[in-house]
Structure 1
Amino acid sequence: MDWAVFIVTAGSFVASFVNAAFATGGVYILLFTSSSVLPLSAAVPLQSAFAAASLLARVALFWEHIDWRIVRLFFLGCLLGVGIGTWTFAALPERAIALLLGLVLLLLIWVPQLPSLPVKHPFVFVGIIHSYLGSLFGVGGVLQPLLLRTDLLKMQLTGTLAAAMLSLDLLKAIGYSSFGFNYADYLPHIIGATIAGFAGTWAGKCVTHHVSETLFRRVFRILVSAVALRFIYVGLLGD
């Protein structure tokens, strides 16, 4: 058995379950599990492929709740952010990416909520910033807290976030491929993550009303902090 495929598949199931049940959070789980068995130079580009099934399932299940205006504005910003982010990713050494990723994760999980942007169409600028960080580190972390501050209900939040992330991941996959990353080299990992993504999303939607969100957020913050410290260690001292 290829343990890397098994761990990626298991991580994808847990990540998609968390995303369906709580609208967000699974991306950190998926990044941690995949980067623990794959080099960061592969794990970051593969986040788009690993998350595709979960995102597609959530878009289908929550289609009628999606706020397409937000998705369109976010996508426009991503067109610029992805281009710059994938170029930066290709230019930086892996240890530098690991160190910066750890610092960004700590910032996103512990710094108070971001302020609202005083502009007419804030989600265009959110798209630029989020997609740049997402292309460089595998996680953006800007869109989620800002969406939580809108008047979207839980179902609308889950569907809108999934549609926005799916559009971003399509652009990221094109960007990484243009710099020579070959997704076909990791086809077994992608297939496992795809099957697990659909299964985890279905399971998460079934229990979305029966899980303590307070406990989840507390445990989630601790886990992400541990992941961040691991990346900082790798960036400073190596594996």
Structure 2
Amino acid sequence: MTDLLPPDVAPLVALSLMAVSFASSFITISFGIGGGGLMLAVMASLLPPAALVPVHGVVQFGSNAGRTAMMARHIQWGPALWFAVGIVLGIGLGASVVPAIPPAVVLIGVGLFLIWTVLSKPPAWMRDWPLLTGTLTSVLSMAFGASGPFVNTYVKSLDLGRHAHVATTAVLLSGQHLLKALAFGVLGFAYAPWAGLIAALILCGLAGTWTGKQVLNRLSDARFRQALNAVLLLLSARLVWQGLSLLL
């Protein structure tokens, strides 16, 4: 097994990450959100910093691509296609805009906005202007790495059923993570030593997705929205806390 792992990753670390990949995918498809942030947090404590975002991006692309394939018939392609154009624009724009914005301001502002969208109805422009929403959420994803809360807030504004929500979110996140992973490859990150671990994490993620889908099928749309709102509130509160910590 050690021959398939990068030099800085022990077998026990790899097994731990595989278990987390299964759990994070299970959580994401069951409740709509939360798995990507969990995976990023665990990876941050176990992997070298230089490999964190590139490897996380590829693993999340694989997990979301698998989720997209399993849920393809539920995807709402109209909003997704316009949002996808916004992804391309937002990633390009974010590379120049994000460094000029104080991180604390971004964290607190986004956290409060997400809390507002949960406690009240999301603003109409999020639903009616998917190109604009895709651009803005992709700019924000450049600042944080994990883009699930922003994409989920947009898809939530579409007021879809639970299967359509998960499927549409998955295809949008697939696009964001794919472009991010390609960008790191162009910038020189060497994926080859990590290929074995990445493949194992994606396979465990697919197993978690299949298992979680059985839970999703048993949930009602109302229960799904309650779980989604609860996780969004927790993630939003974490963003505000991180921003305040930077100011204090």
**Would you say same fold, with TM above 0.5?**
yes
User: Match for residue 156 of structure 2?
Assistant: 148
1:17 matched to 2:26? The reply is yes
Task: Give the CA deviation at 1:170.
Answer: 1.5
SS at match of 2:194: helix
User: Match for residue 75 of structure 1?
Assistant: 84
Question: In structure 2, how many angstroms separate the alpha carbons of the residues matched to 1:104 and 1:2?
Answer: 40
Report % sequence identity.
26
Task: Give the CA deviation at 1:84.
Answer: 3.2
Gaps in structure 2 of 5+ consecutive residues? 1-9
1:57-206 correspondence runs (5 A): 57-86=66-95, 103=108, 106-107=111-112, 110-113=115-118, 114-117=122-125, 122-140=129-147, 141-206=149-214
TM-score (norm 1): 0.78
Task: Give the CA deviation at 1:217.
Answer: 5.5
Question: In structure 2, how many angstroms separate the alpha carbons of the residues matched to 1:65 and 1:23?
Answer: 14
Task: Give the CA deviation at 1:112.
Answer: 4.0
Question: In structure 1, how many angstroms separate the alpha carbons of the residues matched to 2:126 and 2:244?
Answer: 33
Task: Give the CA deviation at 1:189.
Answer: 3.3
> Which deviates the most, 106-115 or 194-203?
106-115
Question: In structure 1, how many angstroms separate the alpha carbons of the residues matched to 2:188 and 2:244?
Answer: 27
SS at match of 2:123: coil
Contact 2:25 2:208 in 1 (8 A): yes
Contact 1:75 1:124 in 2 (8 A): yes
TM-score (norm 2): 0.75
Say which one has the larger Rg: 2
Question: In structure 2, how many angstroms separate the alpha carbons of the residues matched to 1:176 and 1:229?
Answer: 29
Task: Give the CA deviation at 1:218.
Answer: 4.3
Task: Give the CA deviation at 1:156.
Answer: 0.9
SS at match of 2:36: helix
Taking a change above 3 Å as real, the CA distance of residues 169 and 102 of structure 1, as seen in their structure-2 partners, is same
Give the number of aligned pairs.
230
| RMSD of aligned Cα (Å) | 3.4
1:56 matched to 2:65? The reply is yes
Taking a change above 3 Å as real, the CA distance of residues 130 and 184 of structure 1, as seen in their structure-2 partners, is farther
User: What residue identity is the alignment partner of 1:144?
Assistant: N
